[in-house]
Structure 1
Amino acid sequence: MAAEARDRFCVAEERSGHCAVVDGHCLYVWGGYVSIEENEVYLPNDELWVYEIDTALWTMHLMEGELPTSMSGSCGACINGSLYIFGGFDDKGYSNRLYYVNLRTKNGTYRWKKITNFKGQPPTPRDKLSCWVYKDRLIYFGGYGCRKHNELSDCFDVHDAFWEGQIYWGWHNDVHVFDTNTQTWFQPTIRGGEPPQPRAAHTCAVLGNKGYIFGGRVLQSRMNDLHCLNLDTWTWSGSIHTNGEKPKDRSWHTLTSVGDDKLFLFGGLSSDNVPLSDGWIHSTTTNGWRQLTHLPKSRPRLWHTACLGKEGEVMVFGGSKDDLHFMDTGHCSDLLIFQTEPYSLLRLCLDCIGKNATFLKTQISWLPPRLLQQVLKKITFWAAVKYRQEKRAETERQDQISVT
């Protein structure tokens, strides 16, 4: 049963450590946490926030079924219209449970289902891991979590230990696969190459049959290394030596495929504990990084999500603008949209009409029905954008008044 947001121009609640995916014309957001009076509060597990890309409108839907616990640091991915959630951290510790929900429901009801009748062995409990989607498979790498003494192996870098019960906490660099068609977990046999160092809070993306990993954290170090796993042969590339300048070390950033040979890197937390707002494009054709110079410097993000829209735009939602280790108060609710390739002529025309609807209102009704429908969505889109810009400006003005 859908519960519409109170304000048609509202936004999803601020959060970090959440999951987000794009399917069709919508961005879906679930989970994460916020800080209230220095306490970490996990957001409701029965709320799914949906952003309609064409109109820029948010709605909140109540969910049913076998609900996951409220968590942060879970790994979300979308296959054939279903959102899968694996792992995460809650008040009781780390999770290795797997859930899914059909996003293409016809009756407006979103119902979670816990996958229990699987074959094989799932990964050990963990959070802040990453996932590649390839051939209807969820391919998980790394993360931070706990293991028992008899589960220790070369793919686990111990950080701390609780000797009673012999429980160890640390970072992983193992690869686990869940086949959504056969409901089977398995660990592929890695056939060669040097694997990345165990890590968490890294990021990953798929180009063709290759899964890329960049950066992340282990112990007190953050990294800026780039690795690639061939998802057909299960062969690691080793650390890829790129040409020219490259991004600095970081964790809690995002990496998004934006073409046949390009990856878009955004934000994160640097080795100096500085929230980052820089963006980079990596070309696998030239094997080089290029820093983007037109991004706003005042909108840093870490532990956010980034999803590719239907016209090549990268949609960054939520996250924090502060160092979560020391301040943890700057959780965000705004949606940053980065255009990574030129828009079509139709898109440019629709945007122009939507921005100038007041001046063109007498002519808009002359448009053919199909085009008129697209124009009306664009009018709504730009009205929502203007409303939120005005609200944000007013909030910033009030904050300035409070400071002075």
Structure 2
Amino acid sequence: MESPMEASSDDEQAPSPVCRSRRAHEAAMVGPHLFVFGGYCLLGDHEHDFEFQRNAVYAFDTVRKAWHLHRAETESRSPPPACTGASTIAVGRVIYSFGGLEVVLSSYYSRQFSNSVFALNVDTMTWRRCEDRGGRRIAGRDKCAVCLIDAGRVLMFGGWSARIDADVLEAGAQWVPDSNDVVGWNNESYVFDTESETWSSLDASGPRPSPRAAHSLVKIDASRIVLFGGREREQRLNDIHILNLDAMCWSGKIVQPADPTILWPSPRSLHTMNSVSYGPHVGCVLLGGMGVDGNCCDDFAWHLNLNEMEWTKIPWCSDEFKRTWHKTCTFSSGPGYFEFYVFGGSPDNIWKPHSEDLGGPAFTSFGVKSLYLSAMEAACKYEDRIRSDLKFLPLKIKQEFGIRLSGFKMQDHRTN
């Protein structure tokens, strides 16, 4: 079966209009393609005028700089329901979607916490519900955080959920209620095996991070996973917890030092973190988030050097990166060079009527670009001057140049 990513430009996968701006959506990077689905879009002036989106899967080709719309099929008669606040991760060429708030009867006011896991194969563009073959009961939740432990296992931590009864709550975990004692936050830590499609508890020692939701969880290298921030009750957090995968041990809470000269991000939730390591900078990029006042954080772009436990503000990120309830993805197009994409979210207090939604993707990069890629970009920029010499290029390089040139022209057209 032909992969949708290889479909020709004159079939049903032809470039579509730009993916609509949205929030509370899902996104994942597979190779140079950014996949976006789910969440909701503002349609009018009323705060609840929006439509939920999930079965329409958009793919942004970061080389051609073009969107494609895919109508994903399903292996059963039950396609994934419309959903917000799910957590997503790519494992190979399959995107896994965990939990979320599922829409019932197509109504904003009729939603339920999901404990489902859905898998999207991006080569066949088909959805499949993963049935838990181990029979483990997991409470439904949204705004949990997921990351890879290794090639086939996904760690899920925390989330926002309805009451979790003692016979369902993971041993050693807590469920903390909100003021109405109906919904709340948890610090369950489960591992999903993508091969056996079974859940198990994370077998780790050390002090478990406190209950929270809308936090971030990212694998930095082969031996470390970092958890940062989130919300518990009315408190937004900016603590760090490190899971050592070699010792399978949590570090305990690492908090902002009392020394005011030491830089540290303000407390936040609904932010993103991505592993970005280049040169001596081994760590991750923190972007956006909702601050303690409910507005988007003014200090919205940071890099954490994990070896030195040192935060640095990223000066070149413009205000278009200032947002919350967005998604960020990275793609390494060369050793030590990362392309960084952000899509969706809002620059405003998301609970205010008439709050704005942002599209994208906005783009920046980290590290040093390879000489080959730099030469490609220069050739695209000055193509009119070197056009007569292109026939001397090797066929493979000429084909790649043609693809990159189309993307350069598309981007240049949009900026002008």
What does residue range 2-401 of structure 1 map to in structure 2 within 5 Å?
4=12, 8=15, 10-37=17-44, 38=46, 39=48, 41-65=50-74, 66-91=78-103, 92-105=111-124, 110-135=125-150, 136-150=152-166, 151=168, 154-161=173-180, 168-192=182-206, 194-207=207-220, 208-241=222-255, 244-259=262-277, 261-276=282-297, 278-311=300-333, 312-327=338-353, 329-390=355-416
The 1-side partners of 2:161 and 2:399 are apart by 49
Equivalent residues of 1:354, 1:375 under 8 A apart: yes
Question: CA–CA distance in 2 between the matches of 1:240 and 1:26?
Answer: 35
Q: Which amino acid aligns with 2:277?
A: G
Q: 1:88 to 1:322 in 2, by over 3 A?
A: same
Change (3 A) 1:46 1:346: same
Write the letter of the residue equivalent to 1:45: R
Question: 1:253, 1:310 → 2: CA distance?
Answer: 21
The residue aligned with 2:106 is none
Separation in 1 of the partners of 2:414 and 2:144? 33
Is the 1:142–1:174 contact (alpha carbons within 8 Å) kept by the matching residues of 2? Answer: yes
Q: Distance in 1 between matches of 2:81 and 2:367?
A: 38
Structure 1: gaps (5+ residues): 163-167, 391-404
C-alpha contact (below 8 Å) 2:328/2:341 kept by paired residues: yes
Aligned partner letter, 2:311: W
Residues 374 and 307 (structure 1), Cα distance of their counterparts in 2 relative to 1, 3 Å cut: same
What amino acid sits opposite 2:306 in the alignment? T
**Residues in 2 aligned to 1:209 and 1:320: alpha-carbon distance in whole angstroms:** 34
Moved more, 232-241 or 332-341: 232-241
Please give the alpha-carbon distance, in whole angstroms, between the structure 1 residues aligned to 2:413 and 2:153: 41
Distance 2:309 2:99 in 1: 33
Work out the CA distance in 2 between the residues paired with 1:329 and 1:242: 31
1:49/1:59 contact within 8 Å kept? yes
Aligned length: 379
Q: 2:163, 2:255 → 1: CA distance?
A: 33
Residue type at the aligned position of 2:61: E
Task: Report Cα offsets for 1:88-132 as digits up to 9, x if no partner.
Answer: 013331111111021133xxxx11111125214143111011001
Q: Deviations over 1:206-256 (max 9, x none)?
A: 022222111111222211111112345432111125672111111111110
- What amino acid is aligned across from residue 196 of structure 1 in structure 2? P
What amino acid sits opposite 1:270 in the alignment?
A: G
Tell me the distance in 1 between the aligned counterparts of 2:378 and 2:187. 48
Flag structure 2 segments of 5+ consecutive residues without an equivalent. Answer: 5-10, 104-110
- The one-letter code matched in structure 1 to 2:268 is R
What's the TM-score, normalizing by structure 2? 0.85
Aligned partner of residue 289 in structure 2, secondary structure: strand
2:321–2:342 CA contact under 8 A, matched in 1: no
Q: Within 1, Cα distance between the matches of 2:327 and 2:231?
A: 17
Instruction: Give me the whole-angstrom Cα distance separating, in 2, the residues matched to 1:42 and 1:140.
Output: 28
- Residue aligned with 2:243, SS: strand
Give yes or no for contact 2:288–2:321 (8 Å, CA) kept in 1: no
SS in 2 for 1:157: strand
Farther off after superposition, 112-121 or 76-85: 112-121
Query: More deviation in 139-148 or 293-302?
Result: 293-302
Structure 1 residue 363 displacement after superposition: 2.9
